[in-house]
């Protein structure tokens, strides 16, 4: 597992500027969804798929993406709050997993996490633009606009920025 995690984190590092954060993040969520919904028959393959999927997107991209979308004047505080929330969420999952699996079965717990991952993927797909190659000022402007105004300027979920050419 450690080797798989290392290989996929290194892969993410090599691909993040070529493929973009959005693509890696969404493909990572897809792998997490598949691995949590497989069930006990393929438990070892599911754990491996989960570790690989998490390591190629959710793990390394979350910190980079959140630091890019938080306005510069609030970046230190925003990233601190994000990291703290991430740690609290991880601790909550770790501390409640046994009770949760006893209450709704092991398979039910994994389906619940898969369902939560579907919600995360849906949110990220519709509300989080690609930030690769964009100046931080341009990214800040996109998030400064209201949701309606931003949606009005869209031509689809991949056209969040008004300027299509790279600077």
- pLDDT digits 0-9 by tens, 8-27: 999 998 998 888 899 899 99
Is the pTM higher than 0.85? no
pLDDT at 36: 79
Alpha carbon dihedral 32, 34, 40, 44, in 10-degree steps, equals -60
Instruction: Give the Cα separation of 151 and 85 in Å (integer).
Output: 28
Using alpha carbons only, what angle is made at residue 158 by residues 58 and 164, rounded to the nearest 5 degrees? 120
Confidence of residue 137 (pLDDT cuts 50, 70, 90): confident
Residue, of 145 and 122, whose pLDDT is higher: 122
For residues 147-159, average pLDDT: 49
Does position 88 have pLDDT exceeding 90, yes or no? yes
Give CB contacts under 8 A, 24+ apart, made by 107-113: 107/39, 107/40, 110/36, 110/37, 110/39, 111/36, 111/37, 113/36
Confidence of residue 112 (pLDDT cuts 50, 70, 90): very high
Is 150:142 a contact under the CB 8 Å cutoff? yes
Does position 54 have pLDDT exceeding 70, yes or no? yes
Give the phi and the psi of residue 162 in degrees, each rounded to 5. Answer: -70, -35
Show the tokens assigned to 20: 């973009």
Does position 63 have pLDDT exceeding 80, yes or no? yes
Using alpha carbons only, what angle is made at residue 60 by residues 69 and 96, rounded to the nearest 5 degrees? 100
- The string of DSSP letters for 102-144 reads HHH-HHHHHHHHHHHHHHHHHHHHHH----TT--HHHHHHHHH
Confidence of residue 142 (pLDDT cuts 50, 70, 90): confident
Among residues 51, 62, 58, the alpha carbon closest in space to that of 5 is found at 51
Query: Whose structure tokens read 């069930």?
Result: 39
Confidence of residue 156 (pLDDT cuts 50, 70, 90): very low
Tell the burial category of 12 from Cβ atoms under 10 Å away from its Cβ (0-12, 13-18, 19+). Answer: buried
For residues 140-164, average pLDDT: 56
């Amino acid at each position: 597992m450690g080797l798989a995690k290392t290989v996929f984190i290194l892969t993410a590092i090599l691909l993040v500027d070529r493929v973009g954060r959005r693509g890696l993040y969404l493909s990572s969520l897809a792998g997490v969804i598949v691995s949590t919904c497989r069930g006990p028959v393929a438990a070892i393959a599911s754990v491996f798929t989960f570790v690989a999927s998490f390591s190629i997107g959710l793990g390394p991209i979350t910190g980079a993406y959140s630091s890019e979308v938080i306005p510069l004047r609030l970046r230190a505080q925003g990233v601190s709050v994000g990291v703290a929330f991430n740690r609290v969420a991880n601790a909550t999952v770790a501390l409640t997993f046994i009770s949760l699996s006893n209450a709704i079965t092991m398979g039910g717990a994994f389906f619940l996490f898969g369902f939560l991952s579907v919600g995360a993927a849906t949110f990220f797909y519709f509300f989080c633009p690609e930030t690769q190659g964009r100046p931080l000022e341009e990214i800040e402007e996109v998030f400064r606009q209201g949701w309606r105004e931003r949606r009005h300027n869209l031509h689809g979920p991949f056209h969040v920025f008004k300027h299509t050419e790279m600077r």
